[in-house]
Structure 1
Amino acid sequence: MARIVDPRCPRCGAPLPVQPGMDAVTCQYCGARSLIDRGRKPTTAPIPQGMHVVRVAPPSSNAAFTVAGAVAGMTVIGGIAGFLALGPSGGAGAGARPLLGVGPSAYFGDRPMIADVNGDGAPDVIGKSSIPAREEWIGAYDGRDGKPLWKTAVLAKDATTHEAKRAVVLGRVISVDALGKAQAYDLRTGKPSWSAPLGEKARRICQGDGVIVVETVDDAKHGLDPASGARRALAKDAACTPVPSSNEGEAPGYQIVSWSRFEALGLPRASGIEGMSADRALVPSGPGPRFLLGRRNKGSSVGMVAAVEKTKVLWKTVVPGVDPLTTRASGVDEAAYEGGLLVVPYDMKDHGEGTRLACFDGATGKRLWDVQIHKRSQVSYGLSTSANDVFYATWTSLYVFSLKTGELRYTIGTEF
C-alpha cells in the first residue's frame, strides 16, 4: 500500500507535505522549493538554482527516506497519522457528525480565538486548521476536551495568507482575506452568513457599539452590521474594543505595546529599570500593575519581566524557571494576562528542548508553575487565555494547559 510520507524541509527543518505522485513540494513555513527523488532511477539533470532535493522511498519500499541538501544524511521515518475529520458542510448544527478515519496529518496553526461556541457557558477554541498542501479551513473545538464542533468549507487561497485577518465578534466569526473581502460565519454552526467587499486589506478587526469594525491598512474604518453585513456609519472617534482575534498584540482585557509607546502610557523608559532592557509592555485595560517584557542587560542575556505601577517597580524576575543559560538569549516578546496571573512562554537554547511556559502571580511576582510545552517547533502562532486555561499554538498544534496548575489538558492538531 502506498505510504504518505512527511520528510523535512532542507532549509528550515519543517515537515514537508509530500503526497504520492508529486514531483516537487513547497515548504508551508519558509517557502523553499524542493524536488522529490523517489530513487526509481539515477537523477542526472542539474538541480535548478535555489532548489534542494528531498529523497523519498518509493511506495513499494519499506525503507526510511532521507533528506538531501542543506540537511544531507538526516534520516526521518514517515507514516500515516489518524485524525478526526468533519464533513465539509459543518458540525452538529448541520446534522453532520465527526467521522473517525485515517489520512494525512491535520494541523492547528493560528492564534487561538476563545469564545463560547456551543452555548454551554464554557469557552471553546476557534482557529485556522489545515491539511498541508491540500486544504485549510476555520474550525471550532470544544474547550473541555478539544473535540471538533464544526469546520467551514475550504478557504480560498487569499483567506489563508499572513495578510488575512480573523476574529470572533457579536456572534460571528469574521475572516477578511488578502483582497479585502469580509466573510462572516455563524459562531454556533460555522455556516456562512454573509460577505462584504471592503476594497482594502484589513489591519485589525474589533467591536464598536453593536457593530463589527474593520480597520484597513489605509487607516479607514468600516462598520458592518453583524446580522447582514450591511455598511453602518461610524463616528470619527468611534471606540473599537479588542475581541478574540488574530490581531497581533491585543486581546480582550489587555494589549501589548512596543517601547515607543512607553512614555505616552506613563511607563518607565525601555532602559529605565536597573539590570533590565524592556522592548514591550503588557498593559491591562483595567486597574492593577503593568508588565514590562524584555531581557537582562548585565551579563548573559536572559528573558526578564517586571511589574510596575506608573514608574514604580513592584517586582522583577528572570522568566526561566530552569538554568537561564540553557535558554535562548533573545528577550520576551509574548505574554498573556488573566485573573491576576501573568503567563510567559520562553524557548530553550537547544531546539530539541523546545519551549516552556511560566506563570507568575501578577501582584507579587511569585512563580506559580513552570512547565514544558513541547520539545518540537519553536515557532509560535500565539497565546490566549480563558478564566481556567492557557492556549498556546505552534504552527502545527495547539496545547491547552490549566491556568491554575500548568497541567497539560489536551492538544489539537498533529505534532510533527
Structure 2
Amino acid sequence: MDAVTCHYCGARSLIDRGRKPTTAPIPQGMHVVRVAPPSGNVAATVAGAVVGMTVLGAIAGFLALGPSGASGAGARPLLGAGPSTYFDDRPMIVDVNGDGAPDVIGKSSIPAREAWIGAYDGRDGKPIWKTAVLAKDATTHEAKRAVVLGRVISVDALGKAQAYDLRTGTPSWSASLGEKARRVCQGDGVIVVETVDDAKHGLDPASGARRALAKDAACNPVPSSNAAPGYKLISWSDFDKHGLPALHGIEGMTAHHALVPSGPGPRFMLGRRSKGSQVKMVAAVDRKKVLWKDVVPGVDPLTTNVMGSEDAAHEGGLLVVPYDMKDHGQGTRLACFDGGTGKRLWDVQIHRRSQVSRGIATSADSVFYATWTALYVFALKTGELRYMIGTEF
C-alpha cells in the first residue's frame, strides 16, 4: 500500500517505508506516516501488513482529529479504498424524472469533505442529479430541506432559502428569511416556511418573491427532512386533542407516541410494555377502543433494545416500525404489520451496523430507511432488500 484511509474519520495518509527519497510535494490534506520496510517470511509480512494497516489507520485518524479528538463526520471508508459516499438524510420521496415512479431526494456527502443534495432513481438507486456543494450552514441539524411545487428547498441555519429545480437540480433562486426555519410546507400555490419565531413566510415557487399570507394560511405537509406526508407522529401530550387513549390508557402498555394517518382508519400507539421487561409495543386504536396490540420485535423480545427514537411509517394500510437489537453487532430490524388486523407480515434485518437513524419513509411499493451513512430500500409487501444508496461504515 502506498496510502491508507482511516476507518474512523476518513483521513488519508501516505506511507513512507524509506525505500527511496522523494522530493515530490505532499498532496494537500494528506499526512506522511513513516514505517519500517517489511521483512521476514511471507506469512509474517502479510500478518504485519494487516496489523500495520490497522495501526496506520488509527494514526491517520488521530492526526486528522487533532488535539480535541473530535471528528466532524465520523466517516469509516474501507482501508485503501476511495472516499465513501454517504446518504445521511430523511429520504424525501417524489417523482423527479417524470416517469410516474417515485424517486429519492436527500442530502449526501463525502465525510469531512463536502455535502450536496442528490436525486436518485427510485427503481434502482442510480443518481439522477446532484447540486453544487452545500455551504456549511446548509448541512447542520438546524438546516431544513423539502420538496414543494416543483422546487427542492434548502433553508440553512442562517435562514437563507435556496431553491433548486426538481427535474435538474439547478439553482432557481434564493431568499433570506431572517430567522431559522422550523419546517417547509405548501400553501395555496405558494411555498410556506414556518420559522422558529412562529412566523410564516410565503415564497413564490417561480421567483422566490415574497407573497403575503393570511393569518390562517394553510401549511400542508410535503416530503421534507422533518417528516413524510400522509401521516404525522405526535407525542403523548397531544393524545387528548386527537381523541386517543392517554399515556397509560392501554392495559399493559405505556404509549409515548402515536402515528396518526391523514385519512380514515386506525391510529397507532407506539410505546413499550408497562409490566415486566421493557419491550417495544404497538397498538391500533379507533379513538379509545383498542383494535389490536402486539410487541414490535419479531425475534426474541429480550434480545432487543427498547431505547432509541420512536419512529414508524404508514402506507396503504400497512404499518412499518424499526427496532434495535441490544447487541450493536446485530444492528436494526424492521417489522411490518397489517394495520387493520395486526398480522405481522414480515420482519427483516435492515443491517448489522449503526443504530443511528435519519428517518423512514414509504411509497406505494417500497420502504426507505436511512441511517447516518446509507439508505436501505425494501419492498413494502415482502421486506426484500431492493437496493442501497451510500456506503455502510
| TM-score range relative to shorter protein | 0.7 to 0.9
> Equivalent of 2:207, from 221, 228, 233?
228
Provide the rounded CA distance (Å) in 2 between the counterparts of 1:263 and 1:331: 24
The answer on 1:326 being equivalent to 2:294 is no
Aligned pairs for 1:335-346 within 5 A: 335-346=312-323
**Deviation sequence 1:22-65 (CA, Å, 0-9, x none):** xxxxxxxxxxxxxx994659xxxxxxxxxxxxxxxxxxx76222
Question: How far off its partner does 1:77 sit?
Answer: 9.6
Amino acid of the structure 1 residue aligned with 2:99: D
Partner of 1:160: 139
Name the count of aligned residue pairs.
Answer: 349
> Which amino acid is the alignment partner of residue 65 of structure 1?
T
The answer to whether structure 1 residue 371 and structure 2 residue 348 are counterparts is yes
Find the residue that maps to 1:65 and give its secondary structure: helix
Partner of 1:192: 171
Distance in 2 (alpha carbons) for counterparts of 1:77 and 1:239: 44
1:182 counterpart residue number: 161
Give the alignment's TM-score, normalised by structure 2: 0.85
Aligned 8 A contact 1:293 1:332 in 2: no
Residue aligned with 2:12, SS: coil
SS at match of 1:110: coil
For the residue of structure 2 that corresponds to 1:264, the secondary structure is helix
* Structure 1 gap segments, 5+ residues each: 9-15, 22-35, 42-60, 71-75, 82-102
Offset at residue 78 of structure 1 (A): 4.3
Q: Return the index of the structure with the highest Cα Rg.
A: 2
Q: Note the residue ranges of structure 2 that are not aligned, 5 or more in a row.
A: 15-30, 37-48, 63-68, 70-75
Q: 1:351 aligns with which of 313, 324, 328?
A: 328
Aligned to 2:390: 413
Deviation at 1:6, TM superposition (A): 2.8
Is the Cα contact below 8 Å between 1:355 and 1:378 reproduced in 2?
A: yes
Partners of 2:158 and 2:247 lie apart in 1 by 37
Q: Distance in 1 between matches of 2:285 and 2:389?
A: 36
Alpha-carbon separation, structure 1, partners of 2:293 and 2:333 = 19
Once the 2 structures are TM-superposed, how far is the Cα of residue 175 of structure 1 from its aligned partner? 0.1
Secondary structure class of the residue paired with 1:260? helix
Aligned AA for 2:88? G
> Which residues of 2 match residues 196-215 of structure 1 at below 5 A?
196-215=175-194
Q: Counterpart amino acid of 2:54?
A: F
Q: Given the alignment of the two structures, is residue 64 of structure 1 paired with residue 53 of structure 2, yes or no?
A: yes
Identity across the alignment (%): 76
SS of equivalent residue, structure 1 residue 251: coil
RCO comparison, higher one (Cα < 8 Å, 6+) = 2
Q: Partners in 1 of 2:101 and 2:175 — Cα distance? A: 31
- Shift in alpha-carbon separation, 1:331–1:393, aligned structure 2, 3 A: closer
Instruction: Show the counterpart of 1:278.
Output: 255
2:23 corresponding residue in structure 1: none
1:259 corresponding residue in structure 2? 236
CA contact (8 A) 1:355 1:372 kept: yes
Task: Give 1:252 deviation, angstroms.
Answer: 1.1
Shift of 1:114: 0.4
